[in-house]
Structures are given as structure tokens and as C-alpha cells.
Structure 1
Amino acid sequence: MTEDPIQIFQNWYAEATQNSPLQHPKAVCVSTINPEGIPEARFVALKAVSTKGFTFCSSLNSAKSIAIALNSYVALTFWWDHVVIVFQDADLIHPKILKSLR
């Protein structure tokens, strides 16, 4: 068994999304802190995951993008109750992405 967290996630993700009873199996809750310091959460579709991290789409003018530009710590939460897995990751947004938001 691998100890690489991305590989572990990819295995779980494949299991959770394959033949899923969920209407949106690729949905992920993205949590940020808004400019007033208040936590915010919203669901987006996960587009990709690689050794570089997780990719989801967002408008550069959205509240989410503005919050990320001000505080690059983001938490992702996946809920897959049909396979009894809840995965959460909190990390910094890559500096190249932050540069495009500013």
C-alpha cells in the first residue's frame, strides 16, 4: 500500500465516483475565509487531481477567488457516505495561481 497521500486520494476518488449513487460524485466543498474574516463554503466540481494538487473551476471575479487571493489557505471536503469515506485537505493555493488572482 502506498503512503503517497495523492495516490491514496486518487484510489479513494476512483472508488467513490465509480458507479456512485450520488447525483454529483465529483462535488467538493471549498472553504475559504472572506475579506471580513468570516468562513465561507460552497460546492464546486473537482476537475482534476495530480501531484500538483486539486483543480476546480471558478470565475476570477467570484467571491471564492477574491477570498483565495486574500488568504491562500483553502480547505476541501469530500463526502462519500456510500463508501464511508470523508476526506479533507487544507493547504495553500499555489503561488502561480494566486498571482493570476491579484
Structure 2
Amino acid sequence: MADDPFALFDAWYAEAKAAETNDPDAMALATAKANGAPSVRMVLLKGFGPDGFVFYTNETSVKGQHLAENPEAALLFHWKSLRRQVRIEGHVVRVSADEADAYFATRGRDSQLGAWASDQSRPLESRALFERRYDETKQRFDGHPVPRPPHWGGYRIVPTTIEFWQDRTHRLHERRMFRAREDGSWDEGLLYP
């Protein structure tokens, strides 16, 4: 068995990018309020490595508020065409401003403008109001690069556990669990399906 969950994730992710027709980088992100009330939504993986799994968002969104109150989260990748899942749990840390700036600069201009125009997760009076705000933002930055909004950034989930689930016939699935040690190495074992 592999003793590096990131090498195994890299291999599975490469297969998912080749096999999945839509968003192989889509992952369910579960967060919780300080009182433990959970919430889950889909986000996109924007980077990963031995230091963790990265996504970006509006920091004043519900997920941003939850992570400020309770910096623990879980991720789930479900690659249906491969009949695989990867489940990750861990601590959440903020990415650096430089890293967030660098990623924001790679986004399409319309997405950059949308990050300024949206009060993500807040009540919206009408779609027309949002479109008007978008048009005003577009005019504001006309002819200029769009900087990263101060309320927008990235989060890195530093895993404490990573589980690889492979579908098998008769529901006799294969589950491989990696648990982080304090020294940065990993313990690996199997779980009953």
C-alpha cells in the first residue's frame, strides 16, 4: 500500500480529470458554526499538495463566517464515472495575501468583477439589482486591472485524515484511511465497508 496519501490523491485526481466530463475539481465543503450546526456546499479545488487543499471564496460568505468561528472543515470528492470518493477532514488556515492575489489574477475578468459586485450569501432583492451592480463594477474598472477585493481570499484545509473509497461489487467496497501523525508522516489502514 502507498504510504503517501498526496501521491495517491494526485494519481486519482489525474484519472478524474481524464474521465469526468464536468468539474473533476468539484468538492463538497462541510463547515460548522461555533455551536456545531453544519452546512455543506460545492466549491472548486484550486490547488493541493502536502500542505493541504485550497479553495477561494468571499470571506464574508456563510462558509467564511463559519471558518472564522470554527476553523475545521471536511471535503468530499465524488468521481461518479470512476466510482470513487475521497473524504478529507482537517484544520483550516488562510492562504497568504500574495497567494490569493496570484490566484485572483488568473481568474477571468468577468469572475473578478463578480467578486466585487456580489455580497455573497446575503439576501438579494432582485436579479436586476445584482446585474446593475455588476455593470457598475465593470464601468468602475474599465481599462484597468481588477484587483483582488479585500473581502475575498483563500483557505487551505490541512488534513488530519484522508480516506480513499473505491466502489466494489456487492457493496464490498475498499476503504483506505490515512491519519496524520504529529511528525508529519501518516498511518494507513483499512476500514470495513
| Class of the TM-score when normalised by the shorter of the 2 chains | 0.7 to 0.9
Superposition deviation, residue 37 in structure 1: 2.6
Q: Where do 4+ consecutive residues of structure 1 move more than 3 Å?
A: none
Equivalent position of 1:63 in the other structure:
62
> How far apart in 1 are the matches of 2:18 and 2:57?
25
5+ residue gaps, structure 1 = none
Q: Is the 8 A contact 2:25 2:45 kept in 1?
A: yes
TM-score (normalised: structure 1): 0.84
Equivalent position of 1:25 in the other structure:
24
Tell me, what secondary structure is at the counterpart of 2:46? strand
Aligned 1:13-52 pairs, distance under 5 A: 13-21=13-21, 23-52=22-51
Equivalent position of 1:5 in the other structure:
5
> How far apart in 2 are the matches of 1:87 and 1:46?
13
> How far apart in 2 are the matches of 1:69 and 1:47?
20
Equivalent position of 2:75 in the other structure:
76
Identity %: 30
Letter in 2 for 1:10: D
Letter in 1 for 2:87: Q
Equivalent position of 2:182 in the other structure:
none
Number of residue pairs matched? Answer: 97
Tell me, what secondary structure is at the counterpart of 1:61? coil
Tell me, what secondary structure is at the counterpart of 2:31? strand
> How far apart in 2 are the matches of 1:24 and 1:54?
16
Tell me, what secondary structure is at the counterpart of 2:87? strand
Equivalent position of 1:54 in the other structure:
53
Tell me, what secondary structure is at the counterpart of 1:93? strand
Question: CA RMSD of the aligned region, Å?
Answer: 2.0
TM-score (normalised: structure 2): 0.46
5+ residue gaps, structure 2 = 98-152, 154-193
Any idea what the Cα deviations from partners look like across 1:52-98, whole Å, max 9, x if unmatched? 1001111111110110111111000000021111110000013xx19
Any idea what the Cα deviations from partners look like across 1:17-37, whole Å, max 9, x if unmatched? 11423x222100000002443
